[in-house]
Structure 1
């Protein structure tokens, strides 16, 4: 397979160095699995699910039939399908449809923001460790090794004690405990790419270290990072729900899927099973959809026959 980043030499100059480096296609891998063979329907279905979830979150103020935090003592614990309350109400008379829609805003926002920051920070640190001096490489890898042993709950407790429960606290807790795998993968990919013939050819053409790093090393390391990025978003959504369920995440006065589970946990074995089933189903379906897309990216990258 021709390496990304350099034009292949023509047959007339077989064995010669490539004439000119070109910008790699980078994250073109993201859209290829959607056109592929096996699993295409599953990936499209997962994309559709996330589009619906995202649209519901964005348009929640217009779609919600009621105020998500308004209580109604005359409409307590109504089952799904009740007039004016399509998904029923909780034990305080709050509309579950409205709370699910606004909960999606909190959960998906935290997942997306934390996932993006995690991937960007991890990729940057991994790239610097791979291309920088030995002391920087050692500092990044040792820090990553140490933080991998640090429980998420400990970080969340420390941040909540200092800053209080908020969306920012959740995002910081996720980023602090999740950037390490991304950094280690980026570091390993770039270190392996430095020894590839097309990178040596770029140096022999007189390109500076910075240009080779930005135009050839980092873009060629992005495809495997793209798949882990999707997994990180799913992990962030699940982590937010877990922290909110434990009271360490989104403030109780703001709906999120984790908070809905917290409010409904006492009704798990009662007749109000739907108060637990609805947010739990939303979390499970979203995580599965994200993981299907991540697996599609990973399988496509493996099918390309990468050798580094």
Structure 2
């Protein structure tokens, strides 16, 4: 699917529309996508979600509680299965509550990104030419920027909070969704059933809601899964740099921030445990997204 160094989207009226270039590399990276890997990834995400959802019932400790008599305990210590940090806070408890924050940011930011991107893609596909040009040129310009720098700037201006992180991620992640949605819907406009809908007197908004968006959902769903992983990684990066969630709110990124000064003092596990959780979650999300994209590509759609 990777055909060149530029981002472009192929449009046509005779078959499913496939993204090309760097955009394709982002939403359909190569790698394993077999059935076993897919179900393993689903299982990992189910476990992560269950751990986050039931965190208050899986541990009775306060994630912010310190214990000066139990500082820097290694994993496997009785009562502290993942050890404690330099302040005596239980890492198992902080990991569970951190999962709640990180996964919440990932899901909410991805949902906003997909809704905004799909809406802008629909406007570009069905609106006047000037609006199409404005949306696509804005998307192209933002894709040319180092988006983490843009997110850092937004977070620095607005301050540390969950809503700020979510907005910063959504502002810097809607472009691929919009470009894919636009291309799919432009191809769909030439289909007989869409022309028939217009001939029956349906308004543009009704056609978009009833026909264009539902039929453009398969590729959008694939890229939406990738956006979840992107949002989790961005939140972790912002928190690690001190511009993400407030320091008193556990998240995987904040755990990395707390542990970075202890990496060379023998407390490697305070960094390795949250880093492993981030990597495993993002890999699982990407495996599922790749599976969705490959299924959509091989099965295709008949309109």
Answer yes or no: same fold by TM over 0.5. Answer: yes
Q: Which has the larger radius of gyration?
A: 1
- CA RMSD of the aligned region, Å? 2.2
Secondary structure in 1 aligned to 2:172?
Answer: helix
Instruction: Write the mapping of 1:1-308 to structure 2, written as runs, cut at 5 A.
Output: 39-204=34-199, 207-306=202-301
| TM-score calculated relative to the size of structure 1 | 0.83
| Post-superposition offset of 1:160 | 3.3
Inter-CA distance 153–205: structure 2 relative to 1 (3 Å threshold) = closer
| Post-superposition offset of 1:241 | 0.5
* Counterpart position of 1:28: none
Q: Which runs of 5+ in 1 are unaligned?
A: 5-37
| Post-superposition offset of 1:200 | 3.1
- Assess if the C-alpha contact under 8 Å between 1:152 and 1:174 holds in 2: no
- Assess if the C-alpha contact under 8 Å between 1:65 and 1:84 holds in 2: no
Q: Within 1, Cα distance between the matches of 2:204 and 2:96?
A: 49
Secondary structure in 2 aligned to 1:216?
Answer: helix
Q: Within 2, Cα distance between the matches of 1:153 and 1:209?
A: 36
| Post-superposition offset of 1:66 | 1.9
**Alignment: residue pair count:** 274
Inter-CA distance 156–305: structure 2 relative to 1 (3 Å threshold) = closer
* Counterpart position of 1:15: none
- Assess if the C-alpha contact under 8 Å between 1:150 and 1:177 holds in 2: no
Q: Note the alpha carbon deviations across 1:159-195, whole angstroms, 9 max, x for none.
A: 3343311111111110110001111110111111112
Q: Within 2, Cα distance between the matches of 1:191 and 1:214?
A: 14
- Assess if the C-alpha contact under 8 Å between 1:243 and 1:249 holds in 2: yes
Secondary structure in 2 aligned to 1:66?
Answer: coil
| Post-superposition offset of 1:304 | 1.1
Q: Within 2, Cα distance between the matches of 1:73 and 1:206?
A: 73
Q: Within 2, Cα distance between the matches of 1:278 and 1:287?
A: 14
Inter-CA distance 284–124: structure 2 relative to 1 (3 Å threshold) = same
| Post-superposition offset of 1:126 | 0.5
Q: Within 2, Cα distance between the matches of 1:221 and 1:153?
A: 28
Q: Within 2, Cα distance between the matches of 1:202 and 1:156?
A: 41
Q: Which runs of 5+ in 2 are unaligned?
A: 1-14, 17-32
| Post-superposition offset of 1:224 | 0.5
| Post-superposition offset of 1:42 | 2.1
